[in-house]
Amino acid sequence: MYKGIQYQKRAIRALTLAGIAVLAASLWSSGAWAQTGEAGLAPAPDSQNAGWAYLAAALSVGLGCVGAGIAVAYVGSAAVGAVAEKPQLAARTLIFVGLAEGIAIYGLIIGIMVLGKV
């Protein structure tokens, strides 16, 4: 059928995988501070938990950026093809590229939140 639909399906898969990676890294890192100490404050993590936190932050940022890069590649190429056929779609295609870039920002935010607990 239309080649742009194939690119859209690939972009949706890439966005979904990047979102799952960011969510998994954030959930994985939150387990180290599940118990609360005195006055509801989280206990200071020991060196082993800090290492897991650094790993979780690195995974959330790294996989989020890789997934966003894949998504931008597919969405960007489909957007250029769509704009070549219908120039009036340029503004709409920028929205989709921005959504794909947002996954990298979400990964960065999760990484900052995880490192804020160390």
Encode pLDDT of 10-65 as tens digits: 767 776 776 676 666 666 655 544 444 555 555 555 566 777 888 888 888 988 88
Residues whose CB falls within 8 Å of the CB of residue 70, separated by 6 or more in sequence, listed in order: 14, 18
pTM: 0.59
| Residue bearing tokens 């709409």 | 92
Task: Compute CA 20 distance to the chain's CA centroid, rounded to the nearest angstrom.
Answer: 8
What average pLDDT is seen over the chain? 77
* Measured CA angle at 94 (ends 12, 105), to 5 deg: 65
Fold of 3-30+46-116: F1FO ATP Synthase (1.20.20)
**CA distance from start to end of the chain:** 51
